[in-house]
Amino acid sequence: MRRRLILGVVLAAVLAGLAWWLVANGTTPAAPSAASPTAPVAESTQADVPTPSLAEPERVASATAATDNETHAKPMTTTVVPATVAARTATPTAAVGDVLVEGTVVDANGVGIAGARVDLMALFTYARPEVWIEAGTKSTTDAAGRFQLRGSRNAVLARTRGQSSRYLLNVRADGFAPAADTPCELGDADVLVTLAVAGRIEGRIEFTGSLGPRDVEIALEGPRATNPWSALPVVQVTDQRTFAFENLAAGAWSVVARTRARQELARVDSVVVQSGETTDDPRLAPLRVEARGTFEVSVFLPDGSPAASATVLLVRGDGWNTVSTTLGLTAPGVFLAVDEPDGITLSIEHEGLRSERLEHIRGPTRVDLKPPLVVEFEFENLPELERDGLGLALTLVKGPVAGDGRAQEPVSYSMRLLSNAKPSLALASPGNFECAWSAVDSTGSTTSRWAGVAASTVRVLDTIEPQVLRIRAPDGLWEKLAAGR
């Protein structure tokens, strides 16, 4: 009897241990699955998603993901799962192709305009000063003037780093004045844009001296949209010495004749434009352009031949302006310059070649292009290259005293440091440079700067071979940059 009792206790203990092992290893008998005939699948469209409450954050996240996809024309069939599981698997990202803004472009009579070009612009408030940038979506109106700006809402927000809450439509159509100041919001479904019939300016140029049509371009200054990114038109003078501007808004404009380096030669203010009409202003028939105060700058390649084209960097009162100009205007390798009270300061580039910066030019000048000085960098004590959405940049500054003791304007070369690119710069001339560290945003705009001390001065040699500069970053660089904001 005792033996049977002991055997029963042992058997019960073995069975209990086996049951515990099965449970611990997930081998218990499975419940009917979704595929089983005894477990019918419950299906719903996204409209069946329960309305979340603020007390259930996981379900709020799940419902947000559903809302982001409601703009699909075809309902999406899903398997109903517990809310907590749905919250973990849902991705709250707007699908590419969602309608962000839609509306109609019409004329003054309310008739739709076909073929109008519509761009969405966003105010980039992270930059200082604030700037309008393209939001990355554009459209063309159909035969009825309707348009849809489609894309990802998250992608638009990413372009402005989530900072923008203001949007404008930039609308252009042939025969109509552009409308670049129509406000809108993401999600607007019936934006109405009315375009006015455009006006037109035409005129004729009368040259004096050695000037000709290839020396001059005609620019307009005048009515702008409320956003500063709206570019003003520039046209070239024809061989018949005429010019014309199309698709202009009504208002008073200034017509400016200037060199291709954007130096003014002649100006006519208060040229009135009316919708649907061509302006007949006697001051433009002809517009007299004189060669007084002009001189030629000749540009030559290392082999002594004249350069066929180049980019002229002209120093103006508001800083560096990059001006693309075609050389060979009056002769191969020659462009026109206008004398200014303090002379002009410029640098020239052409297919990887460049000149040193020329200071205070007052008359005919020869510029010889040379290969740039290639400088590579090795850093010590360098912190992380990104922090709080900002990147790290290094600027080399030369000046304000040249090697011969003459005062000169500072020259600077900047680069953003990237983990996947070897840092290097191409410099126009050798000399001593001071290092300045900067924090920059995604557009490359400087948000703060900390200039290095005298110990951060480096010297660039005049050599054809690439040279390596070793620079030690200061301790606590990011903290110094943050203090300088």
Q: Residue 308 belongs to a domain with what CATH number?
A: 2.60.40.1120
Whether residue 213 is contained in a domain is answered as: yes
**Cβ-contact 451, 473 below 8 angstroms:** no
pLDDT confidence of residue 51 = 31
Same domain as 190, residue 205: no
Q: Once rounded to an integer, what is the mean pLDDT over residues 346-370?
A: 86
Under DSSP, the state recorded for 138 is E
Distance CA 235, CA 229 (A): 19
Assign 246 to helix, strand or coil: strand
pLDDT confidence of residue 394 = 87
pLDDT confidence of residue 443 = 66
Per-residue b or e along 131-166, where b marks 16 or more CB atoms closer than 10 Å to that residue's CB: bbbebebebebeeebebbbbbbbebbbebbeeebeb
Same domain as 188, residue 105: yes
Label residue 14 by pLDDT band (50, 70, 90).
low
Q: What is the largest CA-CA distance in the chain?
A: 134
Which tokens belong to 312? 């002229």
CATH number of the domain enclosing 185? 2.60.40.10
The number of folded domains in the chain is 5
Same domain as 271, residue 217: yes
Distance CA 404, CA 399 (A): 12
Of 17-31, 95-109, 231-245, 407-421, the least confident: 17-31
- Tell whether the model's pLDDT for residue 172 goes beyond 80: yes
Domain carrying residue 222: 200-289
The residue among 246, 263, 289 that closes a domain is 289
pLDDT confidence of residue 127 = 58
Label residue 196 by pLDDT band (50, 70, 90).
very high
Of 29-38, 47-56, 123-132, 334-343, the least confident: 47-56
Assign 36 to helix, strand or coil: coil
Whether residue 414 is contained in a domain is answered as: yes
Of 39-53, 168-182, 208-222, 317-331, the least confident: 39-53
Whether residue 470 is contained in a domain is answered as: yes
Bridge partners for 425 per DSSP: 375
Label residue 9 by pLDDT band (50, 70, 90).
low
pLDDT confidence of residue 36 = 37
Range among 149-153, 206-210, 273-277 with highest mean pLDDT value: 273-277
Same domain as 462, residue 393: yes
Place of tokens 């398997």: 79
Whether residue 219 is contained in a domain is answered as: yes
Range among 29-43, 68-82, 271-285 with highest mean pLDDT value: 271-285
Same domain as 213, residue 187: no
Distance CA 362, CA 369 (A): 20
Place of tokens 């904001």: 485
Q: Once rounded to an integer, what is the mean pLDDT over residues 54-61?
A: 30
Q: pLDDT tens digit string along 404-452?
A: 444 455 677 888 888 878 899 888 778 888 888 888 877 666 655 554 4
pLDDT confidence of residue 419 = 83
Q: Angle 47-50-54 (CA atoms, 0-180°, nearest 5)?
A: 130
Whether residue 84 is contained in a domain is answered as: yes
Q: Once rounded to an integer, what is the mean pLDDT over residues 175-196?
A: 92
Phi, psi of 344 (to 5 degrees): -115, 155
Distance CA 387, CA 74 (A): 42
Mean residue pLDDT across the chain = 74
Distance CA 74, CA 274 (A): 49
Q: Once rounded to an integer, what is the mean pLDDT over residues 71-98?
A: 37
Whether residue 23 is contained in a domain is answered as: no
Higher pLDDT: 179 or 50? It is 179
* β-pair type (353-354, 358-361): unpaired
Higher pLDDT: 464 or 365? It is 365
Same domain as 416, residue 338: no
pLDDT confidence of residue 391 = 86
Q: pLDDT tens digit string along 378-410?
A: 998 989 998 888 888 888 887 654 444 444 556
Same domain as 317, residue 362: yes
